[in-house]
A and B are shown apart, each in its own frame.
Chain A
Amino acid sequence: MTRVPLERKVLNENDRLAADLRQGFQRYGTRCVNLISSPGSGKTMLLERTLASFEPGRRVAVLTGDIQTDNDAQRLARYGFPVRQITTGGACHLDARMVTNALAEWQPDSIDLLLIENVGNLVCPSSYDLGEEARVVLLSVTEGEDKPLKYPATFNRADLVVLNKVDLLPYVPFRMELAREYIRRVQPDAEIVEVSCTTGAGLDIWLRWIDAKVGAC
Protein backbone atom coordinates (compact mmCIF):
# COMPACT_ATOMS: atom_id res chain seq x y z
CA MET A 1 0.00 0.00 0.00
CA THR A 2 1.29 3.46 -0.93
CA ARG A 3 0.22 6.71 0.67
CA VAL A 4 -0.03 9.60 -1.77
CA PRO A 5 -0.21 13.09 -0.28
CA LEU A 6 -3.00 15.29 -1.62
CA GLU A 7 -2.79 18.84 -0.46
CA ARG A 8 -5.75 20.65 -1.86
CA LYS A 9 -9.17 21.78 -0.83
CA VAL A 10 -12.13 19.46 -1.27
CA LEU A 11 -14.12 22.27 -2.88
CA ASN A 12 -11.20 23.07 -5.16
CA GLU A 13 -13.41 23.27 -8.24
CA ASN A 14 -15.84 25.69 -6.58
CA ASP A 15 -12.94 27.81 -5.34
CA ARG A 16 -11.44 27.90 -8.84
CA LEU A 17 -14.74 29.09 -10.35
CA ALA A 18 -15.17 31.60 -7.53
CA ALA A 19 -11.69 32.97 -8.20
CA ASP A 20 -12.64 33.40 -11.88
CA LEU A 21 -15.82 35.22 -10.84
CA ARG A 22 -13.89 37.47 -8.46
CA GLN A 23 -11.37 38.31 -11.17
CA GLY A 24 -14.20 39.19 -13.56
CA PHE A 25 -15.91 41.36 -10.95
CA GLN A 26 -12.67 43.23 -10.35
CA ARG A 27 -12.03 43.73 -14.05
CA TYR A 28 -15.49 45.22 -14.67
CA GLY A 29 -15.79 47.11 -11.40
CA THR A 30 -18.66 44.98 -10.06
CA ARG A 31 -19.09 44.81 -6.30
CA CYS A 32 -20.70 41.53 -5.26
CA VAL A 33 -22.47 40.93 -1.95
CA ASN A 34 -23.59 37.46 -0.78
CA LEU A 35 -26.55 37.51 1.63
CA ILE A 36 -26.96 34.51 3.91
CA SER A 37 -29.52 33.73 6.62
CA SER A 38 -31.97 31.12 7.79
CA PRO A 39 -35.31 31.01 5.94
CA GLY A 40 -37.60 33.85 6.94
CA SER A 41 -35.00 36.24 8.37
CA GLY A 42 -35.91 38.87 5.82
CA LYS A 43 -33.32 38.66 3.03
CA THR A 44 -35.89 39.29 0.30
CA MET A 45 -37.55 42.10 2.25
CA LEU A 46 -34.18 43.75 2.85
CA LEU A 47 -33.47 43.54 -0.87
CA GLU A 48 -36.90 44.98 -1.67
CA ARG A 49 -36.27 47.95 0.61
CA THR A 50 -32.80 48.35 -0.84
CA LEU A 51 -33.95 48.29 -4.47
CA ALA A 52 -36.84 50.64 -3.68
CA SER A 53 -34.35 53.19 -2.38
CA PHE A 54 -32.19 53.20 -5.52
CA GLU A 55 -32.42 55.68 -8.38
CA PRO A 56 -33.83 54.03 -11.54
CA GLY A 57 -30.57 54.37 -13.48
CA ARG A 58 -28.46 52.61 -10.91
CA ARG A 59 -26.58 49.62 -12.32
CA VAL A 60 -27.77 47.00 -9.85
CA ALA A 61 -28.64 43.36 -10.47
CA VAL A 62 -29.95 40.62 -8.21
CA LEU A 63 -29.55 36.85 -8.20
CA THR A 64 -31.87 35.07 -5.83
CA GLY A 65 -31.55 31.41 -4.89
CA ASP A 66 -34.27 29.08 -3.75
CA ILE A 67 -34.79 25.36 -3.78
CA GLN A 68 -38.13 25.78 -5.54
CA THR A 69 -40.37 28.58 -6.92
CA ASP A 70 -39.53 31.92 -8.49
CA ASN A 71 -41.61 33.83 -5.93
CA ASP A 72 -38.65 35.92 -4.76
CA ALA A 73 -37.63 36.91 -8.29
CA GLN A 74 -41.22 38.02 -8.92
CA ARG A 75 -41.20 40.12 -5.75
CA LEU A 76 -37.85 41.68 -6.59
CA ALA A 77 -38.53 42.29 -10.30
CA ARG A 78 -41.13 44.94 -9.40
CA TYR A 79 -38.40 47.48 -8.70
CA GLY A 80 -37.23 47.71 -12.30
CA PHE A 81 -33.74 46.23 -11.93
CA PRO A 82 -32.55 43.01 -13.57
CA VAL A 83 -33.33 39.98 -11.39
CA ARG A 84 -32.67 36.33 -12.06
CA GLN A 85 -33.91 33.40 -10.01
CA ILE A 86 -31.60 30.45 -9.46
CA THR A 87 -33.74 27.42 -8.64
CA THR A 88 -31.41 24.83 -7.19
CA GLY A 89 -33.95 21.99 -7.40
CA GLY A 90 -32.95 20.56 -4.04
CA ALA A 91 -29.48 21.90 -3.35
CA CYS A 92 -29.33 23.76 -0.05
CA HIS A 93 -26.87 26.46 -1.16
CA LEU A 94 -25.67 28.38 -4.18
CA ASP A 95 -22.29 27.46 -5.63
CA ALA A 96 -19.95 29.32 -7.93
CA ARG A 97 -21.02 27.37 -11.02
CA MET A 98 -24.69 28.33 -10.53
CA VAL A 99 -23.67 31.98 -10.24
CA THR A 100 -21.43 31.74 -13.32
CA ASN A 101 -24.27 30.24 -15.35
CA ALA A 102 -26.82 32.75 -14.09
CA LEU A 103 -24.57 35.68 -15.02
CA ALA A 104 -23.88 34.38 -18.54
CA GLU A 105 -26.70 36.33 -20.19
CA TRP A 106 -25.86 39.67 -18.63
CA GLN A 107 -23.18 41.99 -19.97
CA PRO A 108 -20.37 41.70 -17.42
CA ASP A 109 -19.57 45.42 -17.61
CA SER A 110 -23.20 46.49 -17.05
CA ILE A 111 -23.37 45.86 -13.28
CA ASP A 112 -21.86 47.99 -10.53
CA LEU A 113 -23.54 46.16 -7.68
CA LEU A 114 -24.53 42.49 -7.74
CA LEU A 115 -26.65 41.36 -4.81
CA ILE A 116 -26.87 37.59 -4.34
CA GLU A 117 -29.59 36.23 -2.08
CA ASN A 118 -28.44 32.77 -1.06
CA VAL A 119 -30.76 29.84 -0.29
CA GLY A 120 -32.23 30.28 3.20
CA ASN A 121 -29.92 28.13 5.31
CA LEU A 122 -27.43 28.96 8.07
CA VAL A 123 -25.19 25.94 7.45
CA CYS A 124 -24.39 24.96 3.89
CA PRO A 125 -23.91 28.32 2.11
CA SER A 126 -20.96 29.09 4.40
CA SER A 127 -18.70 26.58 2.62
CA TYR A 128 -19.24 27.98 -0.89
CA ASP A 129 -17.33 31.01 -2.08
CA LEU A 130 -19.32 32.81 -4.79
CA GLY A 131 -16.58 35.28 -5.66
CA GLU A 132 -18.23 37.92 -3.49
CA GLU A 133 -16.44 40.92 -2.10
CA ALA A 134 -18.49 40.94 1.07
CA ARG A 135 -20.60 38.44 2.92
CA VAL A 136 -23.63 39.63 4.85
CA VAL A 137 -25.40 37.43 7.38
CA LEU A 138 -28.89 38.34 8.55
CA LEU A 139 -30.27 37.37 11.92
CA SER A 140 -33.79 38.36 12.92
CA VAL A 141 -34.74 38.98 16.53
CA THR A 142 -37.41 36.26 16.43
CA GLU A 143 -34.71 33.62 15.97
CA GLY A 144 -32.90 33.82 19.29
CA GLU A 145 -29.65 35.55 20.11
CA ASP A 146 -27.51 32.41 20.31
CA LYS A 147 -27.58 31.70 16.56
CA PRO A 148 -23.99 32.96 16.13
CA LEU A 149 -22.80 30.33 18.62
CA LYS A 150 -24.93 27.59 17.07
CA TYR A 151 -23.77 28.39 13.52
CA PRO A 152 -20.24 29.73 14.03
CA ALA A 153 -19.03 28.62 10.59
CA THR A 154 -21.51 31.00 8.97
CA PHE A 155 -21.13 33.96 11.31
CA ASN A 156 -17.37 33.59 11.37
CA ARG A 157 -17.19 34.47 7.66
CA ALA A 158 -19.48 37.52 7.90
CA ASP A 159 -18.22 40.98 7.03
CA LEU A 160 -21.51 42.48 8.20
CA VAL A 161 -24.27 41.09 10.39
CA VAL A 162 -27.71 42.64 9.90
CA LEU A 163 -29.95 42.24 12.95
CA ASN A 164 -33.39 42.46 11.39
CA LYS A 165 -36.97 42.90 12.66
CA VAL A 166 -35.94 45.15 15.56
CA ASP A 167 -39.50 46.53 15.56
CA LEU A 168 -40.48 43.20 17.17
CA LEU A 169 -38.09 43.58 20.12
CA PRO A 170 -40.88 44.57 22.54
CA TYR A 171 -42.63 41.25 21.87
CA VAL A 172 -39.78 38.71 21.93
CA PRO A 173 -37.23 37.79 24.63
CA PHE A 174 -34.26 38.77 22.45
CA ARG A 175 -31.32 40.34 24.30
CA MET A 176 -29.59 42.60 21.80
CA GLU A 177 -26.41 43.08 23.84
CA LEU A 178 -26.03 39.31 24.18
CA ALA A 179 -26.50 38.86 20.44
CA ARG A 180 -23.78 41.42 19.77
CA GLU A 181 -21.50 39.71 22.28
CA TYR A 182 -22.03 36.31 20.60
CA ILE A 183 -21.35 37.77 17.14
CA ARG A 184 -18.15 39.37 18.43
CA ARG A 185 -17.02 36.05 19.90
CA VAL A 186 -17.23 34.18 16.61
CA GLN A 187 -16.27 37.11 14.36
CA PRO A 188 -14.67 40.08 16.15
CA ASP A 189 -14.18 41.94 12.85
CA ALA A 190 -17.82 41.91 11.71
CA GLU A 191 -19.71 45.16 11.54
CA ILE A 192 -23.20 45.00 13.03
CA VAL A 193 -26.27 46.98 12.00
CA GLU A 194 -29.76 46.86 13.51
CA VAL A 195 -32.64 47.32 11.09
CA SER A 196 -36.35 46.90 10.67
CA CYS A 197 -37.43 46.36 7.10
CA THR A 198 -41.01 46.96 8.23
CA THR A 199 -40.55 50.39 9.82
CA GLY A 200 -37.41 51.34 7.90
CA ALA A 201 -35.38 51.87 11.09
CA GLY A 202 -31.65 51.52 10.52
CA LEU A 203 -31.97 51.09 6.76
CA ASP A 204 -30.05 54.32 6.22
CA ILE A 205 -27.04 52.73 7.94
CA TRP A 206 -27.35 49.60 5.79
CA LEU A 207 -27.60 51.72 2.62
CA ARG A 208 -24.55 53.74 3.66
CA TRP A 209 -22.66 50.48 4.13
CA ILE A 210 -23.64 49.44 0.59
CA ASP A 211 -22.63 52.85 -0.77
CA ALA A 212 -19.28 52.57 0.96
CA LYS A 213 -18.80 49.19 -0.75
CA VAL A 214 -19.81 50.39 -4.18
CA GLY A 215 -18.66 53.98 -4.11
CA ALA A 216 -20.92 56.79 -5.20
CA CYS A 217 -22.76 56.02 -8.42
Chain B
Amino acid sequence: MPDQNWVLIAQQQIPYSNPTSAVQFQNLNSSTATSEAGVTVTLNASNAPVYRMFAKYTIHTSSAISNTQGYSYIYSTSQHDHAQEWNGENQNTYLYSNNQTTGASNASYYTTGTYWGYGAQSNQYSMYGWGAQITDDAGVVVEPYDRRRQGQNVGCWEFYSTEQMYPVHSHWTMICTEGIQDGSNQTSSQKWGGYELGSGGSNQSYSTNEFYWQCSYNVSGTFLFYRSCNGNYQKNE
Protein backbone atom coordinates (compact mmCIF):
# COMPACT_ATOMS: atom_id res chain seq x y z
CA MET B 1 0.00 0.00 0.00
CA PRO B 2 1.32 3.45 -0.81
CA ASP B 3 2.03 5.90 1.95
CA GLN B 4 -1.00 7.45 3.59
CA ASN B 5 -0.10 11.08 3.29
CA TRP B 6 -3.11 12.74 4.83
CA VAL B 7 -4.17 12.59 8.44
CA LEU B 8 -7.39 13.88 9.92
CA ILE B 9 -6.11 15.90 12.84
CA ALA B 10 -9.43 17.39 13.90
CA GLN B 11 -13.09 17.21 13.15
CA GLN B 12 -16.04 19.15 14.42
CA GLN B 13 -19.61 17.99 14.12
CA ILE B 14 -22.05 20.82 14.73
CA PRO B 15 -25.49 19.30 15.25
CA TYR B 16 -28.54 20.78 13.61
CA SER B 17 -30.21 21.16 16.98
CA ASN B 18 -27.29 23.06 18.44
CA PRO B 19 -25.84 25.27 15.70
CA THR B 20 -23.03 27.74 16.07
CA SER B 21 -21.94 30.88 14.25
CA ALA B 22 -18.22 30.22 14.31
CA VAL B 23 -15.90 27.25 14.06
CA GLN B 24 -12.36 27.51 15.22
CA PHE B 25 -9.35 25.19 15.24
CA GLN B 26 -6.69 26.09 17.76
CA ASN B 27 -3.13 24.94 18.33
CA LEU B 28 -2.83 23.45 14.88
CA ASN B 29 0.92 23.22 15.31
CA SER B 30 0.51 21.00 18.34
CA SER B 31 -1.16 18.27 16.34
CA THR B 32 0.41 14.85 16.50
CA ALA B 33 0.33 11.70 14.42
CA THR B 34 1.95 8.31 14.51
CA SER B 35 4.80 7.70 12.13
CA GLU B 36 5.46 4.48 10.28
CA ALA B 37 7.92 3.56 13.00
CA GLY B 38 5.16 3.78 15.58
CA VAL B 39 6.45 6.99 17.08
CA THR B 40 4.15 9.83 17.97
CA VAL B 41 5.46 12.98 16.34
CA THR B 42 4.35 16.58 16.34
CA LEU B 43 3.30 17.70 12.89
CA ASN B 44 5.35 20.63 11.68
CA ALA B 45 6.36 22.49 8.57
CA SER B 46 8.78 19.80 7.58
CA ASN B 47 6.67 16.70 7.96
CA ALA B 48 3.21 18.15 7.34
CA PRO B 49 3.30 21.41 5.40
CA VAL B 50 -0.26 21.61 4.10
CA TYR B 51 -3.45 22.36 6.05
CA ARG B 52 -6.77 21.60 4.44
CA MET B 53 -10.29 21.84 5.81
CA PHE B 54 -13.33 20.37 4.12
CA ALA B 55 -16.74 21.49 5.27
CA LYS B 56 -20.32 20.59 4.56
CA TYR B 57 -22.76 22.86 6.29
CA THR B 58 -26.32 24.07 6.48
CA ILE B 59 -26.99 27.75 7.05
CA HIS B 60 -30.02 28.23 9.26
CA THR B 61 -31.76 31.15 7.61
CA SER B 62 -33.81 32.04 4.57
CA SER B 63 -32.07 35.38 4.27
CA ALA B 64 -29.71 36.02 1.40
CA ILE B 65 -26.04 35.72 2.29
CA SER B 66 -23.88 38.65 1.33
CA ASN B 67 -20.29 37.95 0.47
CA THR B 68 -18.74 39.22 3.68
CA GLN B 69 -21.20 37.34 5.86
CA GLY B 70 -19.12 34.25 5.20
CA TYR B 71 -15.72 34.90 6.60
CA SER B 72 -12.55 33.06 7.49
CA TYR B 73 -8.95 33.77 8.27
CA ILE B 74 -5.73 32.09 9.24
CA TYR B 75 -4.71 32.83 12.81
CA SER B 76 -5.65 36.52 12.86
CA THR B 77 -7.22 39.09 10.62
CA SER B 78 -3.97 40.97 10.18
CA GLN B 79 -1.98 38.20 8.58
CA HIS B 80 -3.59 38.03 5.20
CA ASP B 81 -1.70 39.90 2.57
CA HIS B 82 -4.56 40.34 0.16
CA ALA B 83 -7.15 37.86 -0.85
CA GLN B 84 -9.06 37.89 -4.06
CA GLU B 85 -12.46 36.35 -4.50
CA TRP B 86 -14.12 35.26 -7.68
CA ASN B 87 -17.85 34.82 -7.72
CA GLY B 88 -19.70 33.37 -10.59
CA GLU B 89 -22.48 34.71 -12.72
CA ASN B 90 -23.92 38.13 -12.21
CA GLN B 91 -21.64 39.35 -9.48
CA ASN B 92 -24.08 38.47 -6.77
CA THR B 93 -23.56 34.73 -7.12
CA TYR B 94 -27.13 33.77 -7.73
CA LEU B 95 -27.44 31.14 -10.39
CA TYR B 96 -30.71 30.45 -12.07
CA SER B 97 -31.63 26.90 -12.81
CA ASN B 98 -32.76 27.82 -16.28
CA ASN B 99 -29.84 29.94 -17.27
CA GLN B 100 -26.18 29.30 -17.61
CA THR B 101 -23.70 31.85 -18.77
CA THR B 102 -20.02 32.40 -18.60
CA GLY B 103 -18.95 33.76 -15.26
CA ALA B 104 -18.99 37.50 -15.62
CA SER B 105 -16.29 38.17 -13.10
CA ASN B 106 -16.46 39.64 -9.72
CA ALA B 107 -13.23 39.94 -7.92
CA SER B 108 -13.02 41.80 -4.70
CA TYR B 109 -9.86 42.43 -2.88
CA TYR B 110 -9.50 42.01 0.85
CA THR B 111 -6.68 42.11 3.35
CA THR B 112 -8.44 41.07 6.54
CA GLY B 113 -9.29 37.51 5.63
CA THR B 114 -11.27 35.67 3.03
CA TYR B 115 -14.92 36.13 2.24
CA TRP B 116 -16.98 33.39 0.72
CA GLY B 117 -20.59 34.40 1.35
CA TYR B 118 -21.45 34.63 -2.32
CA GLY B 119 -20.44 31.01 -2.65
CA ALA B 120 -22.88 29.98 0.03
CA GLN B 121 -26.61 29.89 0.21
CA SER B 122 -29.12 30.00 2.99
CA ASN B 123 -30.82 26.68 3.49
CA GLN B 124 -34.10 27.24 5.30
CA TYR B 125 -36.62 27.87 2.58
CA SER B 126 -40.34 27.51 2.77
CA MET B 127 -40.47 25.61 -0.49
CA TYR B 128 -38.33 23.47 -2.72
CA GLY B 129 -38.65 23.20 -6.42
CA TRP B 130 -39.81 19.60 -6.39
CA GLY B 131 -42.99 20.26 -4.48
CA ALA B 132 -44.67 20.42 -1.14
CA GLN B 133 -45.19 17.56 1.31
CA ILE B 134 -43.92 14.12 0.56
CA THR B 135 -44.31 10.86 2.44
CA ASP B 136 -41.15 8.88 2.90
CA ASP B 137 -40.78 5.10 2.84
CA ALA B 138 -41.43 4.94 6.57
CA GLY B 139 -44.73 6.75 6.15
CA VAL B 140 -43.47 9.97 7.66
CA VAL B 141 -44.80 13.15 6.12
CA VAL B 142 -41.87 15.41 5.30
CA GLU B 143 -42.52 19.08 4.79
CA PRO B 144 -40.68 20.97 2.04
CA TYR B 145 -38.85 22.97 4.69
CA ASP B 146 -37.89 19.92 6.75
CA ARG B 147 -34.20 19.64 7.52
CA ARG B 148 -34.06 16.41 5.54
CA ARG B 149 -34.88 18.36 2.40
CA GLN B 150 -32.62 21.31 2.88
CA GLY B 151 -29.62 22.04 0.73
CA GLN B 152 -26.03 21.70 1.82
CA ASN B 153 -23.12 23.99 1.23
CA VAL B 154 -19.70 22.50 0.66
CA GLY B 155 -16.29 24.11 0.69
CA CYS B 156 -12.58 23.64 1.06
CA TRP B 157 -9.97 25.90 2.60
CA GLU B 158 -6.27 25.23 2.18
CA PHE B 159 -3.14 26.94 3.38
CA TYR B 160 0.47 26.15 4.14
CA SER B 161 2.73 26.10 7.14
CA THR B 162 4.32 29.33 8.15
CA GLU B 163 7.79 28.33 7.13
CA GLN B 164 6.86 27.30 3.63
CA MET B 165 6.01 30.84 2.53
CA TYR B 166 3.92 29.70 -0.35
CA PRO B 167 1.51 32.23 -1.79
CA VAL B 168 -0.52 30.89 0.57
CA HIS B 169 -4.17 30.21 0.86
CA SER B 170 -6.96 29.19 -1.45
CA HIS B 171 -10.53 28.16 -1.01
CA TRP B 172 -13.69 27.38 -2.85
CA THR B 173 -17.29 26.93 -1.88
CA MET B 174 -20.34 25.92 -3.81
CA ILE B 175 -23.95 24.96 -3.50
CA CYS B 176 -26.76 24.00 -5.77
CA THR B 177 -30.25 23.19 -4.58
CA GLU B 178 -33.84 23.28 -5.66
CA GLY B 179 -34.40 25.68 -2.85
CA ILE B 180 -36.37 28.71 -3.80
CA GLN B 181 -36.18 31.46 -1.29
CA ASP B 182 -39.40 33.14 -2.27
CA GLY B 183 -41.39 29.96 -1.81
CA SER B 184 -42.19 29.56 -5.46
CA ASN B 185 -41.11 26.65 -7.59
CA GLN B 186 -40.11 28.68 -10.60
CA THR B 187 -36.82 27.91 -12.25
CA SER B 188 -36.59 31.55 -13.19
CA SER B 189 -36.29 32.46 -9.54
CA GLN B 190 -32.86 33.18 -8.29
CA LYS B 191 -31.17 31.56 -5.32
CA TRP B 192 -30.65 28.27 -7.04
CA GLY B 193 -26.96 27.99 -6.44
CA GLY B 194 -23.69 29.78 -6.18
CA TYR B 195 -19.96 29.33 -6.10
CA GLU B 196 -16.85 31.23 -5.31
CA LEU B 197 -13.14 30.77 -5.71
CA GLY B 198 -10.64 32.70 -3.71
CA SER B 199 -6.96 32.88 -3.07
CA GLY B 200 -4.41 35.19 -1.59
CA GLY B 201 -1.09 35.61 0.09
CA SER B 202 0.12 36.22 3.58
CA ASN B 203 2.21 38.84 5.20
CA GLN B 204 5.76 38.05 6.20
CA SER B 205 5.04 37.15 9.79
CA TYR B 206 1.94 35.09 9.54
CA SER B 207 1.28 32.07 11.69
CA THR B 208 -0.77 29.02 10.96
CA ASN B 209 -1.53 28.01 14.50
CA GLU B 210 -5.26 28.71 14.24
CA PHE B 211 -7.99 28.73 11.67
CA TYR B 212 -11.17 30.73 12.17
CA TRP B 213 -14.39 30.34 10.22
CA GLN B 214 -17.51 32.39 10.74
CA CYS B 215 -20.95 32.83 9.29
CA SER B 216 -23.29 35.63 10.26
CA TYR B 217 -26.05 33.08 10.71
CA ASN B 218 -26.25 29.86 12.64
CA VAL B 219 -24.61 26.91 10.95
CA SER B 220 -24.59 23.18 11.48
CA GLY B 221 -22.52 20.63 9.67
CA THR B 222 -19.24 18.79 9.49
CA PHE B 223 -15.79 20.36 9.48
CA LEU B 224 -12.87 18.08 8.75
CA PHE B 225 -9.35 19.33 9.19
CA TYR B 226 -6.48 17.50 7.49
CA ARG B 227 -2.72 17.80 7.32
CA SER B 228 -0.62 16.47 4.49
CA CYS B 229 2.45 14.52 5.51
CA ASN B 230 5.68 13.57 3.82
CA GLY B 231 5.41 9.94 4.79
CA ASN B 232 3.20 7.24 6.14
CA TYR B 233 1.47 8.82 9.12
CA GLN B 234 -1.63 7.67 10.93
CA LYS B 235 -4.00 9.24 13.42
CA ASN B 236 -6.36 7.73 15.97
CA GLU B 237 -5.23 4.16 15.56
Binding partners A and B: no
Interface residues, chain A, with chain B CB atoms under 8 Å away: none
